[in-house]
Amino acid sequence: MHGVDLSVISGNLVTAKPLGVREGVDFDHSGEVRRVRAGAIEGLLEKGSLVLLPPLGFSSTGEVFDLDAAEVAHHAAVALKADKLILLGESDGLANEQGALLRQLSPDEAEPHLAAAEQGSELARHLQAACAAAREGVARTHLLCWRNHDALLGELFTRDGVGTMITQHRYEQLRPATLNDIAGLLELLEPLERRGMLVARSRERLEHEIDDYLVIERDGMVIGCAALHAFPQADIAELACVAVHTSYRGGERGERLVEAIEQRAHRLGVGAIFVLTTHTAHWFVERGFASASIDDLPLLKRETYNHARKSKVLIKTLA
Ligand SMILES: CC(C)(COP(=O)(O)OP(=O)(O)OC[C@H]1O[C@@H](n2cnc3c(N)ncnc32)[C@H](O)[C@@H]1OP(=O)(O)O)[C@@H](O)C(=O)NCCC(=O)NCCS
């Protein structure tokens, strides 16, 4: 840090009010946040200063109150419209009954953990702040452990992060694709096309057929896709281009994609879907597809069937 000229600035940036007397107990100089002076903080940040908010608040009459740090963090994050709030505590985050770390929860899912936490404990205070921040618009709040010296780097510089994230928005979602997904789709499909697992699709073709696609997006990255192509006058549609990124396989994402495509096919009013595959026939058979022949395909598909590829034809009748 030699020669680094960092200004860390603090001040009367949080206004507080006294907790007062509750159930016969006078809380004296303990207070709660009344207002965070976002404009003043932003002014300091714009000048390149680091702003430090201690767990202290000031009243307009000059009194100083002792505040809960997590509450200050929650109110500051909301007032500054922060994208992220990071709370460092004793534990790595939240765990399930088997002790496995829970990576992502919505505030509603975190609520039972809050109820189970010892009242007034650090975990309870952090969880309360995290849930409140998520409900009031902070996109992501992370519970990390201060014992882990790599926790911040791991959180900020890896896609999956470490610790538990509380978020109102699911950061992984299955949804219809849009033109904005083309670059992500190309990135996902290209390695599979190179290995001959999928037929090569050009950017133009993807753009043209984009409405046929569903994608799974995780934290801004397309990690899975599947398409449903309809054929005019045919009672059967094609399930195509089912793919899940290698780092995310085995989490039933492939299965969810096929289910979503089946629902789409249902809405389209077709009675069956078919798939052509070279490498993955067993996977589809385990999901209710049965071997069929080229003659079972719609005429248009029969005409364009690539005999050199020798893809297997599988059909699933929809209930
Ligand atoms: C097929 C694919 C979409 C599955 O994605 P996924 O998210 O891992 O799927 P799921 O989690 O629902 O299923 C995983 C299971 O399928 C099994 N599986 C994966 N590929 C398989 C294959 N080629 N044949 C048989 N089973 C297979 C896995 O071993 C796992 O089973 P297990 O849990 O018993 O170990 C993915 O492996 C993929 O992208 N493959 C390459 C592209 C491809 O071949 N697409 C089909 C052509 S349209």
Half-sphere exposure of 195 (CA within 13 A, CB side): 10
Strands 84-89 and 140-145: parallel
What lines the ligand 1 site, CB under 6 Å? 192, 197-198, 240-244, 249-255, 275, 277, 279-280, 282-283
Q: What's the gap in Å between 246 CA and the centre of ligand 1? A: 10
Q: What's the gap in Å between 254 CA and the centre of ligand 1? A: 7
Q: What is the pLDDT of residue 153?
A: 94
Opening angle at CA 72, ends 124 and 29, nearest 5: 90
Which residue's C-alpha comes closest to atom 10 of ligand 1? Answer: 252
Is residue 189 within 8 A of residue 201, CB to CB? The reply is yes
Question: What superfamily in CATH does domain 8-166 come from?
Answer: Acetylglutamate kinase-like (3.40.1160.10)
Mutate to test the pocket of ligand 1, among 249, 252, 301, 306 (most ligand atoms within 8 A of CB): 249
Mutate to test the pocket of ligand 1, among 277, 280, 311 (most ligand atoms within 8 A of CB): 280
Closest CA to 34 of 61, 8, 9: 61
**Closest ligand 1 atom to Cα of 250:** 11
Q: What is the pLDDT of residue 170?
A: 66
Give me the residue spans of the domains in the chain: 8-166, 172-317
- With a CB cutoff of 8 Å and minimum separation 6, the contacts of 137 are 78, 81
How remote is the C-alpha of 129 from its chain's centroid?
Answer: 20
Which residue's C-alpha comes closest to atom 41 of ligand 1? Answer: 243
Half-sphere exposure of 131 (CA within 13 A, CB side): 16
Q: What is the pLDDT along the chain (319 residues), one digit of tens a residue?
A: 788 888 999 999 999 999 888 888 888 999 999 999 999 999 999 999 999 999 999 998 889 999 999 999 999 999 999 999 999 999 999 988 888 889 888 898 899 999 999 999 999 999 999 999 999 989 899 999 999 999 999 999 887 789 999 998 766 889 999 999 999 999 999 999 999 899 999 999 999 999 999 999 987 899 999 999 999 899 999 999 999 999 899 888 999 999 999 999 999 999 999 999 999 999 999 999 999 999 999 999 999 999 999 999 999 999 8
Which residue's C-alpha comes closest to atom 23 of ligand 1? Answer: 280
Distance CA 246, CA 190 (A): 12
Which residue's C-alpha comes closest to atom 46 of ligand 1? Answer: 242
- Gyration radius from the chain CA atoms: 27
Q: What's the gap in Å between 277 CA and the centre of ligand 1? A: 12
Question: What superfamily in CATH does domain 172-317 come from?
Answer: Gcn5-related N-acetyltransferase (GNAT) (3.40.630.30)
Q: What's the gap in Å between 249 CA and the centre of ligand 1? A: 7
Q: In what order do the strands lie in the sheet with 312-317?
A: 172-176, 213-218, 221-229, 236-244, 272-277, 312-317, 290-292
Q: What's the gap in Å between 144 CA and the centre of ligand 1? A: 33
Q: What's the gap in Å between 316 CA and the centre of ligand 1? A: 17
Mutate to test the pocket of ligand 1, among 197, 283, 306, 315 (most ligand atoms within 8 A of CB): 283
Q: How many CB atoms lie within 10 A of CB 290?
A: 11
176-198 in b/e burial notation, b at 16+ Cβ within 10 A?
A: ebeeebbebbeebbeebeeeeeb
pTM of the model: 0.65
Distance CA 66, CA 125 (A): 15
